[in-house]
Amino acid sequence: MKPLMRLLEGKLNDKELELVPRSYDIIGSKNKAVAIIEIPKEIKNRKELIAEAVMKLNKNVKSVLNKISGRKGTYRLEDLELIAGDNNTEVIHKEHGYLLKLDPRKVFFSPREATERQRVASQVRPGENVLVMFSGIGPYAIAIAKKQPEIEKVYCVEINPDAHEYAEENVRINKLAHKIMLMNDNVKKVSSKLKLKFDRIVMPMAVGGEEFLDVAFKLIKDGGMIHFYSVGKEDDLFIEAEKTVIQVALSNRKRIKIENRVKVLPFGVRKHKICLDIRAGVP
């Protein structure tokens, strides 16, 4: 039995215990963290008890947030209700040696993508110019600049002003201001102003990212790499994303080679977040 269920034994009946989430995210440090849990509607009258148990199990958790909606809107935020603890939910999260300050109620952040960020960062070579579209609070850019200090520059575009502000602070606290350039703008607007072509473009927005593939093909150097994220159905994970990529590449007269097909994380029922590593403009 999972520790959370064990702690709730005797307080919840067997039927209720069955519905207690098996896992939840913790974002933050050993001094101050926030837990994000999704409590099913059937046991929502038990949410305070569950939150108390989460805090008892994780002494660093000072606030518990309950997910009451899926991710929505341009900023890809979810509705998170405070069910226990401190109303100030700003934390500093550590992953792979760098720090990320954020408030999960104001910005998108997924601690589960830390390994994927390292996978992308480990491909970056010295001297590259990289564009991170939809850069959020800066985790991909910071992972890249930390892993490859000889990078030329990482350019980031993010539309949510709160996420952009956190990105500015994160660049500062990780001492990367000379390597990362942040723009608080819409990828579609900013792309026409960028006079540069990129060695690598990261597109970490699995829902709706395909609308920006055209921009990516216009901004990628011949021989450059696009990391394109999407959501695939379990029966044929990559087929839809590949079809879209081939179509947009054709309309941009770009020859491509899909070098890697990656199953990143579960994404709802029988679906996965996936990534295609696309070599563009191959001879």
Ligand X SMILES: C[S@@+](CC[C@H](N)C(=O)[O-])C[C@H]1O[C@@H](n2cnc3c(N)ncnc32)[C@H](O)[C@@H]1O
Residues in touch with ligand X (CB under 6 A)? 74-76, 108-109, 113, 134-136, 139-140, 157-160, 163, 186-188, 204-205
Q: What b/e sequence results for 108-143 when a residue is b if at least 16 CB atoms lie within 10 Å of its CB, and e otherwise?
A: bbbeebbebbebbbebbeeebbbbbbbbbbbbbbbb
- Determine the residue with CB nearest ligand X: 136
| Smallest distance, ligand X to C-beta of residue 71, A | 7
What whole-number distance in Å separates Cα of residue 275 and Cα of residue 90?
30
Q: Which two tokens stand for residue 23?
A: 């896992």
| Smallest distance, ligand X to C-beta of residue 32, A | 20
| Smallest distance, ligand X to C-beta of residue 30, A | 22
Bridge partners, residue 34, by sequence? 27, 63
| Cβ distance to ligand X smaller for residue 34 or 163 | 163
Asked whether the CA dihedral 38, 44, 50, 51 is positive or negative, the reply is: positive
| Cβ distance to ligand X smaller for residue 104 or 281 | 104
| Smallest distance, ligand X to C-beta of residue 267, A | 11
| Cβ distance to ligand X smaller for residue 35 or 133 | 133
Classify residue 77 by its DSSP letter.
Answer: B
| Cβ distance to ligand X smaller for residue 139 or 224 | 139
| Cβ distance to ligand X smaller for residue 84 or 137 | 137
| Smallest distance, ligand X to C-beta of residue 276, A | 16
Q: In what order do the strands lie in the sheet with 153-158?
A: 180-184, 153-158, 129-133, 198-203, 220-233, 271-280, 256-266
